């Protein structure tokens, strides 16, 4: 028999990949916001290790390919947060579990093909079950979607949405490395209201960032925001760019993993994300800045979970952040809590 939301504890959340770099930030943020995370993952030794830090939390070892095992892992939870990449290998089985158990699902994938497949395979079923399937609720994907949607609140349509990211460095996690090697699919951008493959020679341009970055050359670097924004905003073209220094970092196999420089485990990495919506020769712009692209993902995904738990969402099914939440209010909340500077 399927469980309904009324029978579940709306504070218990199963976090799959709880011991990963970003998963640890998610656990800390959930606890701060009063949720009860269940620590779940595929690696028993790593689960036991993180369990020592949180002796009062339940640990559940899982196998992605074992449906009964997954069902047991989400017992009494009202939502799953999937932090276990590559998401091409984990998302589909875990979403099937969410549907079987009638609970919400959120992840932080930056893999375009993963999000495309989630929309194709689960949109109708998730709407029927009245649950929220929210992929890419992270720095890549979710943040850009929220920023773009907040700009479009003032517009019926846009000719172009340009998203440009500047990082002072990019020390990739092991998960980012694994995802990069696993993700063999073509990367898409958006032209004439259609997804098209990014050219082999990636387009470049100059971008005038806010301080501390200034004028920098940027390169086309489209990720999941291309897919999510194109699903719900009336726009002809979407472009995403990143400055060259972090791209050189991530393409260099010798670049080390992130180094914590703060007590909460965050690195000192600085980011700026600037979004332009251009329509009828008029351009509206919004800028978000902060520290640590992995660290900011935790408050993004937990803020989404808070709003789902409180019923503050507009749509069910497979949705994006901007589509189902009040994007301006969402961003204001993160700014008020000190996670983002919004201009």
To the nearest 10 degrees (0 to 180), the angle between helices 144-152 and 224-232 is 30
Do 110 and 198 lie in one domain? The reply is no
Q: How many CB atoms neighbour CB 329 within 10 A?
A: 11
CA 140 to chain centre: 6
Instruction: State whether 53 and 153 are in the same domain.
Output: no
Residue 248 has pLDDT above 80, yes or no: yes
Structure tokens at 261: 């420089």
| Count of C-beta atoms within a 10 Å radius of residue 338 | 9
Provide the whole-model pTM.
0.95
Same domain, 161 and 249: yes
Cα-Cα-Cα-Cα dihedral of 31, 131, 145, 218, to 10°?
Answer: 80
Query: How many Å apart are CA 41 and CA 17, to the nearest integer?
Result: 5
- Tell me, what's the pLDDT at 305? 97
Considering the domain architecture, whether residues 127 and 257 belong to the same structural domain is answered as no
Give every CB contact of residue 4 below 8 A, 6+ residues apart in sequence: 102
Residue 8 pLDDT: 57
Domain range for residue 276? 139-292+329-342
Same domain, 181 and 202: yes
Nearest to 16 by CA among 34, 31, 38, 1: 38
Residues 265 and 123 in one domain: no
CATH number at residue 274: 3.30.360.10
pLDDT band for 182, please (50, 70, 90 cuts). Answer: confident
Beta pairing, strands 59-61 & 36-41: parallel
Q: Determine the pLDDT at residue 1.
A: 28
Catalogue the long-range contacts made by 180-185 (C-beta closer than 8 Å, 24 or more residues apart).
180/250, 182/86, 182/88, 182/89, 183/86, 183/88, 183/111, 183/113, 185/111, 185/112, 185/113
**Reported confidence tier of residue 180, pLDDT bands at 50, 70, 90:** confident
Q: Judge if 222 and 286 occupy the same domain.
A: yes
Give the single-character DSSP code of 305.
H
Provide the CATH number for the domain around residue 88.
3.40.50.720
DSSP track, 104-147: EEEE----HHHHHHHHHHHHHHHHHHT-EEE---SIIIIIHHHH
List, for residues 218-235, the tens digit of each pLDDT value: 999 999 999 999 999 999
Residue 281 binned pLDDT confidence (cut-offs 50, 70, 90): confident
Q: How many domains does the chain have?
A: 2
Quick one: average pLDDT of 70-96?
A: 96
The answer on 175 and 54 residing in a single domain is: no
Query: Whole-angstrom Cα distance, residue 105 to residue 98?
Result: 6
Please check whether residues 166 and 218 belong to one and the same domain: yes
**Dihedral angle sign, alpha carbons of residues 47, 48, 50, 54:** positive
Model confidence at 96, pLDDT cuts 50, 70, 90, reads very high
Q: Are residues 308 and 182 in the same domain?
A: no
Same-domain pairing of 84 and 186: no
Residues 167 and 100 in one domain: no
């Amino acid at each position: 028999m399927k469980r309904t939301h009324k029978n579940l504890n709306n504070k218990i959340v199963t976090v799959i990949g709880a011991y990963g770099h970003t998963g640890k930030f998610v656990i800390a943020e959930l606890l701060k916001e009063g949720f009860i995370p269940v620590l779940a993952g595929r690696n028993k030794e790593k689960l036991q290790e993180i369990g020592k830090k949180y002796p009062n939390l339940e640990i559940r070892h899982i196998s992605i390919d074992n449906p009964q095992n997954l069902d047991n892992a989400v017992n009494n939870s009202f939502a799953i947060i999937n932090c276990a990449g590559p998401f091409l290998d984990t998302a589909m089985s875990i979403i099937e579990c969410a549907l079987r158990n009638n609970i919400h699902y959120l992840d932080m994938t930056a893999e375009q093909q993963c999000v495309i497949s989630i929309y194709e395979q689960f949109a109708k079923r998730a709407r029927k079950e009245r649950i929220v399937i929210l992929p890419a609720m992270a720095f890549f994907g979710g943040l850009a979607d929220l920023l773009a949607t907040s700009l479009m609140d003032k517009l019926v349509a846009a000719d172009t949405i340009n998203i440009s990211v500047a990082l002072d460095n990019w020390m990739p996690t092991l998960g980012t490395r694994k995802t990069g090697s696993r993700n063999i699919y073509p990367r898409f951008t958006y032209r004439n209201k259609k997804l098209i493959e990014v050219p082999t020679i990636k387009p470049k341009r100059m971008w005038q960032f806010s301080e501390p970055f200034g004028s920098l050359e940027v390169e086309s670097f489209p990720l999941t925001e291309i897919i999510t924004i194109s699903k719900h905003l009336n726009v002809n073209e979407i472009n995403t760019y990143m400055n060259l220094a972090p791209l050189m970092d991530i393409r260099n196999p010798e670049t080390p993993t992130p180094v914590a420089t703060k007590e909460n485990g965050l690195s000192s990495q600085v980011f700026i994300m600037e979004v332009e919506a251009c329509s009828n020769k008029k351009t509206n712009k919004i800028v978000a800045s902060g520290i640590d692209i992995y660290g900011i993902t935790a408050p993004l995904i937990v803020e989404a979970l808070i709003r789902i738990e409180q019923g503050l969402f507009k749509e069910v099914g497979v949705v994006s952040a901007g589509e189902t939440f009040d994007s301006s209010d969402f961003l204001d909340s993160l700014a008020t809590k000190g996670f983002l500077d919004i201009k």
